[in-house]
Amino acid sequence: MYRQIILLVFGVLSILSVAAQGSVEKLFQSMPDDLLWLDQTQRRDLFAYFTDKKVDSIGNNLNGYCKLVDYNETAKHLSINTSQKGNMELQILGNESVQFVGVIFTVCAPACHSSIHFYSFDWKPIDMQFPVLAASDFCKDGLSEDDRSAANRLLTPLFVRYSFQGGTNDIIASCSAESFLAETDFKQLKPLLKSDKIIISYQDGLWKLQK
């Protein structure tokens, strides 16, 4: 109940802020510098180049390059490659009464692993108790003790990539095991998986795994 009250307060503030922010682009432009290594000029140039389709990337403050790969105001979604191995996604989530910003940072080396964070529209962090996934979430039900032990061994450490489904409150969690396991190990693991993807949905003020 306390968490839902906090979310409602953030939601009211966010609705007021939406009018000021107005768009995913403006949220991106106001994102704190410690979340993205681009100054205001670089951010404006990145959008200008994306619109003109003349240049597909721009230098960042870490001597690398950023590329805007998806921008959709209707779906309230934006995706940027922050390097050859990194990506950042931003999306507006929630409903008419409660809205907030989700940001996913992903690094692939080669297995992809993500972290996800939530903010109000003025970039105040929100603690939403997002589910922490375990190997068992990707495994079939009713496995034998030996199979369950093998699956846990092969999925340790567990690398999970998150991605938004634009225009929805769903987040796809993808198991990255195939990209780092040896071929023989993945052949052993594959029959033990019920799926390599899990959908996590925001419903009634909570994040819930879809079974």
One pLDDT digit (tens) per residue for the chain, 211 residues: 545 544 444 444 444 444 444 589 999 999 998 888 788 888 888 888 887 776 666 766 655 778 888 999 999 999 999 888 999 999 999 988 889 999 999 999 989 999 999 999 999 999 999 999 999 999 999 999 999 999 999 999 999 999 999 889 999 999 999 999 999 999 999 999 999 999 999 998 999 998 7
pLDDT given at position 75: 93
What was the pLDDT predicted at 1?
A: 52
State how far the Cα of 26 lies from the Cα of 123, in Å rounded to an integer: 12
Q: In the chain, where are the structural domains located?
A: 2-209
| Predicted local confidence at residue 127, as pLDDT | 92
Amino acid at 112: C
- The pTM assigned to this predicted structure is 0.85
**pLDDT value, residue 13:** 47
For residue 13, which of 116, 126, 90 has the smallest C-alpha distance?
A: 126
Measured in whole angstroms, the distance separating CA 70 from the mean position of its chain's CA atoms is 14
Three-state secondary-structure class, residue 93: strand
Give the model's pLDDT for residue 95: 85
Instruction: Determine the longest span between alpha carbons in the chain, in angstroms.
Output: 57
CA 27 to chain centre: 16
